[in-house]
Structure 1
Amino acid sequence: MPLDQSFIGREYPPSQPYEVGREKIREFADAIKDDSPLHRDPEAAKAAGYPDVIAPPTFAVILSMRAHDSIVQDPQLGLDYSRVVHGQQEFVHHRPIQAGDRLVTAVHVDDIKERAGNDFLTLRAEITTVEGERVCTATALLVARGTAEGESE
């Protein structure tokens, strides 16, 4: 079943605050094999001009993927997640994510297209501090394989 085109432009409410901790940053840096002291050593981060350790740029995926759940789990959209592959991911950082941040994420459906029998869902996650300071814009393309009715541009 094709995705509901009326979802284009829909915005979901912001997530609950996510508190960024030093240990979560270190664990993420370990997982992606990034050994920069900026992700581990508060003194090195301060010497570089940051108030605390900063997260690797792709850390934002943790927040954006959690926010995507509100869309993925919306039964009205008609998305069969068992058919989804992650097609693309982009981040625009307005400032680094840092230990001590309390972040919320609002997710938007920017586009839905059908091509070659597949649905292409473009999602944008706006990550801000609880006070409203912009931190990161994460854009993802999800491809639902074999769900569209036909080809259209």
Structure 2
Amino acid sequence: MTEERVYNVLFLCTHNSARSVLAECILNREGKGRLRGFSAGSQPSGRINPFVRDLLERLGFPTTDLRSKTWDAFATAEAPRMDFVFTVCDNAAGEVCPVWPGQPVTAHWGFPDPSSAQGTDAEKAAFTADVFRQIERRIQAFVSLPFASLDRLALKRRLEDMAR
């Protein structure tokens, strides 16, 4: 019996309070143990966006261990080796990222920022739910990729195509 490889995926956003946290949670559910999600930020806010936390809790995601953390924690020799690193906000995509051990496949998947939502609490919650659905669709497409049969270049091309 051969063990199926587990792929580690890091989602980056400047403040690590909304989009990257959503992506981490969604991947950990959709990846069904085959893919493991992590998230971090270049300038972590130190808190999870309250609308993000509320939505995740309503949808049954575990939230007790969620925290906003720096991406430096994932650039050390002791950190889990990442197979994929995705920026999910335009600011993080333009920043100089650390050098990730193991040369993971990288891509930029930009999504609107729930923290920028305007209006009533209900409108902010609806905006956050819409961003959640966008991220969820992208991750569902990602987890369906045949990782073992695609070479690095083909994987990179597929990931870039998903962003369009």
**Higher RCO (CA-CA < 8 Å; seq separation 6+):** 1
More helix by share: 2
| TM-score (norm: length of structure 1) | 0.25
More strand by share: 1
| TM-score (norm: length of structure 2) | 0.24
